[in-house]
């Protein structure tokens, strides 16, 4: 075993989560039109019979419900899970399949499952994996077809037998030469028995053919489809093994044997792989893979793989069939004797994508648990365990099947930034543009540490060219310094002009606009090897959401776009609107030309982009409006916020106005925020045992969080008491707009201490991390429910509510609070936090040198 792995716990855990999988034994998915032909429950428990519903009380089934409900954000009941999956099988089915197959690099597909019209072709899985699929040929199916053709052509048993053998040899030789075929599989244990006879009795074989011909003449074709003749089964296996053993093509393609849990219609003792021992000895140069760990004969499987150089042990099939403990025991039993280089893993995925999802997630957990025990007992080092993970999940199958794939760690975590292939991007873009006018430009957008919206644009013809080029991923080169620039494009300290990130458009975020002829996507920064960039704000939020999902937590966000409109002029540049008595929710404000020309046009564009605005109304300051965006899953909500702002800004600019997010454009008027509504889904729904510690965690770290939510020197102009802007105290209150956290109902709370100058990816990352840490620590909500203006309370009343800290009163104080909050720094990553501190310090020093009027205009020019 190589010893060049980092010998750290972190490297081991990273390998558990980011090692791609070669799934060397799986089956095709049902076509979308046929998904209702297979009960979903059967995919969970692996039983396709009348006993299926009696298995609902099994530990494996209960675990699967818990797992899926957390991922789907529904109640922990089978009916809720089934309903949620049915919804995913709608328009977003490919997206759901993508999530289910996350982490699988390549699939070796046995595509002989029955009615071919019901199943997708084997290479349909290529849409969802990084590397192409290959076929595993079921030899009993090939043999049955060869026999059938021979019996049609010949009525005399000897001739029919001779023709069938020639047909079969020709078919196998063709597949031995076919690069799309990775190996073969035998289901002899399902048809007759695993005890393959070493002797060939030609006279007996001809008698079998005579019975087959008689059955055919009587119109009984089941004899062929069942192929239940032991002498024939054995003989065709010997032919296959001989052809492989004598093949001079170099690499010898393996034979997989279905054993153990693979069937239900035979005597259990007959499924033991021990019956293969004589066959294994007869063909020492033929690689043989024992599927399903031979369960429940796992130790026999391990013994054969250890004792014979041509035998390999597969540990698939028991995921998700067995309980957690059962799965871990299978791994331990195989590792008792079997060299790690002889162990493979597969999903045995079939019919529906959930079979892949559960298998992949569960094997990672099982490997982590088992190998961690060995490490703690001193049997392995972290480095050795890391190598074992890579060998079992990827390297061994890569070698056995001669796939010649490169092990490239997964860039990010499942469910949040799973890999999307070039083919899938083409499909996404094609569907998106259906019935739309072909755009001229694609905007590839990101939001930097100063919350400056930045983008690269590309002619659409170039986009299509790159997508069809054969490159796996469509990406653009951007200097690494791009995540260390001020708004003036001046780099902060220690920023090098060398190096390049790859900017990856997320085509799942496609929107039309904001200008005619343009389409927009959000993007993520990645290293050249596809790994996530630690400084990428969007990737950070994705990874946090995945952490939450692994803990059964999902978040829904809904933002309010608060903005102020100015009229552009040649003299003063930005002139206040002639407001005609502009006031909060005043009807006349909606009749102003700015509202009609800017906001109504923006709402039409947003509606066309599938963003259905919930409400628009005037706010208090002159030219100030609020647009309430629809709630959405957290990442989608942040993407939508940035896109919606771009749309409104574009509409304003084209009509001679300027939209600004300046937190306090008028010193004596209401400030401008970017309030966000949050709600939490857990395995128990909106559970106060979850949301109470979550919001306690947010309050505990709120002073440090303010460095991200109140991120600019001008942000603190609106941190005042008595303005319904969230006040200045670290507190919460039911329907209290003078507290930074306003409780609405259950887990639905509003964060008020955030404005439009914050990078929303970073801001929400800090908020969610603090809250999730509160849940992990079971933080108590020691702050009382404040139903009054905190500023008007006496010191004793504030003490009763445990209201002891105030929000920072300046950006410098907020940055210092972040510096001192070692827990939040650790959660966010020290490298990212330090870069943020450097950028904000340099930005603040620059802005402090400006006069108040100059600074105000400078902010309005950029936000």
Residue-wise pLDDT for 499-537, tens only, equals: 888 888 888 888 888 988 899 999 999 887 677 788 999
Q: Are residues 23 and 120 in the same domain?
A: yes
The pLDDT-based confidence of 691 (bands split at 50, 70, 90) is confident
Examine the pLDDT at 682 and tell me if it is beyond 70.
no
Cα dist from 443 to 44, 454, 496, 596, 660, whole Å: 42, 10, 26, 27, 21
Q: Are residues 463 and 593 in the same domain?
A: no
pLDDT of residue 555: 87
Average pLDDT over residues 194-219: 80
CA atoms within 13 A on the CB side of 839: 28
Which strand ranges, in their side-by-side order, compose the sheet holding 21-26?
Answer: 21-26, 104-110, 134-138, 181-186, 255-257, 288-290, 311-314, 343-344
Chain length of the chain: 863
Q: Are residues 524 and 548 in the same domain?
A: no
C-alpha span between 314 and 250 (Å, rounded): 23
CATH code of 379's domain: 3.20.20.140
Q: Taking a C-beta distance cutoff of 8 angstroms, is the pair 836, 540 a contact?
A: no
Let me know if residue 414 belongs to a domain.
no
Q: Which residue has the tokens 């009380």?
A: 57
C-alpha span between 735 and 587 (Å, rounded): 25
Whether this prediction's pTM lies above 0.85 is answered by no
Q: What are phi and psi of 559, to 5 degrees?
A: -100, 155
pLDDT of residue 529: 67
Greater confidence (43 vs 481) lies with: 481
DSSP-derived 3-state class of residue 129: coil
Q: Are residues 500 and 452 in the same domain?
A: yes
Among 842, 836, 767, residue whose Cα is nearest residue 535: 836
Q: Are residues 517 and 489 in the same domain?
A: yes
Q: Are residues 628 and 770 in the same domain?
A: yes
C-alpha span between 29 and 349 (Å, rounded): 8
pLDDT of residue 46: 56
For β-strands 554-568 and 624-628, DSSP reports them as antiparallel
CATH code of 572's domain: 3.30.590.10
Examine the pLDDT at 417 and tell me if it is beyond 50.
no
Examine the pLDDT at 805 and tell me if it is beyond 80.
yes
Q: Are residues 525 and 551 in the same domain?
A: no
Average pLDDT over residues 675-683: 81
Q: Are residues 617 and 695 in the same domain?
A: yes
Let me know if residue 2 belongs to a domain.
no
Among 700, 773, 780, residue whose Cα is nearest residue 740: 700
**Highest mean pLDDT (candidates 269-283, 526-540, 566-580, 713-727):** 269-283
Q: DSSP code of 117?
A: G
Examine the pLDDT at 340 and tell me if it is beyond 60.
yes
What 76-82 contacts at long range (C-beta under 8 Å, 24+ apart), as own/partner pairs, is 76/683, 76/684, 78/41, 82/40, 82/41
pLDDT of residue 399: 97
Q: What percent of the chain has pLDDT over 90?
A: 42
Q: Which residue has the tokens 């076919």?
A: 178
Examine the pLDDT at 228 and tell me if it is beyond 80.
no
What 166-171 contacts at long range (C-beta under 8 Å, 24+ apart), as own/partner pairs, is 168/142, 168/143, 168/236, 168/239, 169/239, 169/243, 171/142, 171/145, 171/146
Domain residue limits at 239: 9-400
- Cβ of 558: how many Cβ atoms within 10 Å? 20
Greater confidence (265 vs 839) lies with: 839
Least confident of 27-31, 273-277, 341-345, 663-667: 663-667
C-alpha span between 150 and 145 (Å, rounded): 9
Examine the pLDDT at 412 and tell me if it is beyond 50.
no
Q: Are residues 279 and 363 in the same domain?
A: yes
The pLDDT-based confidence of 594 (bands split at 50, 70, 90) is confident
Domain edge (last residue) among 352, 370, 400:
400
C-alpha span between 789 and 797 (Å, rounded): 11
Q: DSSP code of 532?
A: B
Greater confidence (137 vs 685) lies with: 137
The number of domains in the chain is 3
CA atoms within 13 A on the CB side of 716: 18
**Highest mean pLDDT (candidates 28-42, 115-129, 413-427):** 115-129
Let me know if residue 377 belongs to a domain.
yes
Domain edge (last residue) among 503, 533, 563:
533
pLDDT of residue 223: 44
Let me know if residue 583 belongs to a domain.
yes
pLDDT of residue 43: 60
Question: pLDDT digit string (tens) for 392-409?
Answer: 999 999 999 999 999 988
Greater confidence (12 vs 282) lies with: 282
3-state helix, strand, coil in the chain (%, to 5): 50, 15, 35
Domain edge (last residue) among 533, 551, 573:
533
Q: Are residues 527 and 579 in the same domain?
A: no
Among 696, 720, 699, 716, residue whose Cα is nearest residue 707: 716
CATH code of 492's domain: 3.10.20.70
Both tokens of 429, joined, read 């873009």
pLDDT of residue 814: 94
Q: Which residue has the tokens 């304003």?
A: 652
Evaluate the CA torsion angle 614, 616, 620, 621 in order and state its sign: positive
Average pLDDT over residues 738-766: 91
Q: Which residues contact 152 (CB under 8 A, 6 or more apart)?
A: none
Q: Are residues 285 and 167 in the same domain?
A: yes
Q: Which residue has the tokens 């999903």?
A: 347
Examine the pLDDT at 218 and tell me if it is beyond 80.
no
Determine the distance from the C-alpha atom of residue 748 to the mean position of all C-alpha atoms in its chain, rounded to a whole number. 25
Average pLDDT of every residue of the chain: 86
Q: Which residue has the tokens 């919930």?
A: 614
Least confident of 163-167, 381-385, 602-606, 807-811: 602-606
Average pLDDT over residues 784-798: 88
Among 507, 514, 517, residue whose Cα is nearest residue 604: 514
Let me know if residue 1 belongs to a domain.
no
Q: Element (H or E) spanning 281, and its range?
A: helix 277-282
Examine the pLDDT at 626 and tell me if it is beyond 70.
yes
Question: pLDDT digit string (tens) for 382-396?
Answer: 999 999 999 999 999
pLDDT of residue 415: 38
pLDDT of residue 470: 58
Average pLDDT over residues 35-51: 64
The pLDDT-based confidence of 91 (bands split at 50, 70, 90) is low
C-alpha span between 234 and 248 (Å, rounded): 24
- Ordered DSSP codes for 676-745: EEEEEEBTTBS-HHHHHHHHHHHHHTHHHHHHHHS-SGGGGGS--TTSSS--SBS-EEET-TTSSEEEEE
Q: Are residues 149 and 279 in the same domain?
A: yes
Let me know if residue 242 belongs to a domain.
yes
Q: What are phi and psi of 660, to 5 degrees?
A: -130, 150
Let me know if residue 416 belongs to a domain.
no
Examine the pLDDT at 45 and tell me if it is beyond 60.
no
Let me know if residue 3 belongs to a domain.
no
Q: Element (H or E) spanning 812, and its range?
A: helix 811-820
Greater confidence (811 vs 43) lies with: 811
Evaluate the CA torsion angle 703, 706, 710, 713 in order and state its sign: positive
């Amino acid at each position: 075993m190589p010893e060049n792995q980092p010998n750290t716990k972190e490297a081991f855990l990273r390998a558990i989560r980011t090692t791609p999988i070669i799934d060397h034994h799986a089956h095709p998915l049902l076509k979308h039109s046929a998904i209702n032909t297979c009960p979903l429950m059967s995919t969970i428990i692996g039983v396709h019979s009348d006993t299926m519903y009696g298995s609902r009380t099994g530990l494996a089934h209960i675990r699967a419900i818990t797992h899926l409900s957390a991922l789907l954000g529904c109640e922990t009941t089978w009916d809720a899970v089934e309903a949620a999956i049915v919804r995913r099988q709608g328009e977003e089915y490919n997206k759901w399949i993508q999530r289910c197959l996350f982490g699988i690099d390549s699939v070796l597909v046995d595509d002989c499952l029955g009615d071919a019209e019901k199943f997708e072709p084997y290479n349909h899985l290529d849409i969802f994996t990084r590397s192409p699929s290959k076929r595993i040929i079921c030899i009993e199916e090939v043999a049955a077809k060869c026999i059938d053709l021979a019996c049609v052509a010949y009525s005399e048993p000897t001739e029919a037998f001779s023709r069938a053998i020639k047909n079969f040899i020709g078919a196998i030789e063709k597949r031995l030469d076919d690069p799309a075929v990775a190996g073969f599989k035998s289901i002899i244990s399902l048809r007759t028995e695993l005890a393959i006879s070493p002797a060939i009795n030609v006279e007996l074989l001809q008698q079998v053919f005579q019975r087959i011909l008689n059955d055919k003449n009587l119109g009984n074709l089941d004899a062929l489809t069942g192929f239940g003749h032991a002498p024939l089964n054995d003989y065709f296996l010997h032919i296959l093994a001989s052809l492989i053993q004598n093949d001079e093509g170099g690499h010898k393609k393996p034979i997989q044997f279905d054993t153990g849990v693979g069937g239900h219609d035979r005597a259990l003792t007959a499924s033991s792989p021990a019956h293969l021992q004589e066959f294994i000895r007869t063909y020492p140069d033929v690689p043989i893979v024992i599927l399903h760990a031979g369960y429940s004969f796992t130790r026999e499987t391990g013994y054969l793989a250890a004792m014979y150089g041509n035998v390999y042990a597969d540990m698939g099939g028991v995921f998700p069939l067995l309980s957690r403990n059962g799965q871990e025991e299978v791994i331990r039993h195989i590792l008792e004797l079997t060299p790690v280089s002889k162990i493979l893993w597969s999903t045995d995925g079939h019919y529906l994508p959930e079979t892949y999802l559960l298998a992949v997630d569960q094997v990672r957990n099982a490997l982590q648990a088992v190998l961690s025990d060995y490490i703690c007992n001193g049997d392995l080092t972290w480095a050795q365990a890391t190598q074992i993970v890579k060998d079992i999940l990827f390297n061994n199958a890569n070698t056995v099947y001669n796939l010649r794939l490169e092990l490239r760690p997964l860039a990010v975590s499942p469910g949040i930034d799973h890999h999307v292939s070039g083919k899938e991007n083409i499909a996404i873009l094609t569907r998106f543009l259906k019935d739309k006018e072909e755009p001229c430009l694609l905007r590839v957008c990101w939001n930097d540490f100063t919350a400056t919206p930045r983008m690269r644009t590309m002619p659409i013809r170039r986009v299509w060219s790159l997508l069809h080029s054969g490159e796996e991923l469509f990406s653009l080169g951007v200097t690494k310094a791009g995540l260390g620039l001020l708004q003036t494009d001046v780099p902060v300290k220690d920023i090098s002009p060398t190096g390049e990130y790859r900017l990856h458009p997320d085509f799942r975020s496609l929107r039309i606009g904001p200008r005619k002829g343009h389409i927009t996507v959000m993007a993520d920064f990645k290293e050249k090897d596809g790994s996530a960039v630690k400084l990428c704000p969007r990737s950070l939020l994705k990874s946090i959401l995945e952490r939450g999902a692994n803990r059964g937590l999902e978040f829904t966000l809904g933002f309010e776009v608060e903005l102020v409109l100015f009229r552009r002029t040649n003299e003063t540049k930005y002139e206040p609107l002639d407001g005609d008595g502009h006031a909060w929710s005043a009807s006349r404000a909606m009749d102003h030309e700015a509202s009609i020309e800017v906001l109504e046009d923006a709402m039409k564009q947003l509606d066309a982009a599938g963003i259905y605005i919930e409400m628009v109304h005037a706010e208090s300051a002159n030219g100030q409006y609020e647009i309430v965006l629809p709630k959405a899953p957290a990442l989608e909500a942040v993407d939508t916020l940035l896109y919606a702002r771009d749309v409104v800004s574009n509409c304003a600019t084209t009509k001679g106005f300027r939209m600004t997010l300046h937190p306090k454009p008028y010193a004596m008027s209401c400030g401008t925020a970017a309030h966000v509504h949050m709600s939490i889904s857990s395995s128990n729904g909106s559970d106060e045992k979850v949301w109470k510690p979550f919001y306690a965690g947010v309050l505990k770290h709120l002073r440090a969080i303010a460095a991200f939510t109140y991120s600019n020197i001008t942000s603190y102009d609106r941190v005042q008491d008595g303005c319904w802007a969230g006040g200045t105290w670290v507190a919460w209150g039911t329907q209290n707009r003078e507290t930074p956290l306003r409780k609405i109902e259950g887990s639905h709370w509003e964060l008020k201490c955030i404005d439009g100058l914050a990078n929303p990816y970073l801001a929400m990352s800090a908020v969610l991390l603090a809250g999730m840490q509160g849940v992990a620590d079971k933080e108590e909500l020691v702050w009382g429910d404040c139903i009054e203006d905190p500023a008007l309370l006496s010191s004793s009343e504030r003490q009763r509510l445990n209201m002891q800290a105030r929000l920072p009163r300046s950006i410098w104080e907020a940055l210092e609070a972040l510096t001192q909050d070692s827990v939040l720094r650790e959660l966010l990553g020290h490298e990212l936090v330090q870069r943020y501190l450097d950028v904000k310090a340099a930005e603040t020093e620059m802005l402090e040198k400006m006069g108040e009027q100059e600074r105000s205009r400078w902010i309005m020019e950029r936000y």
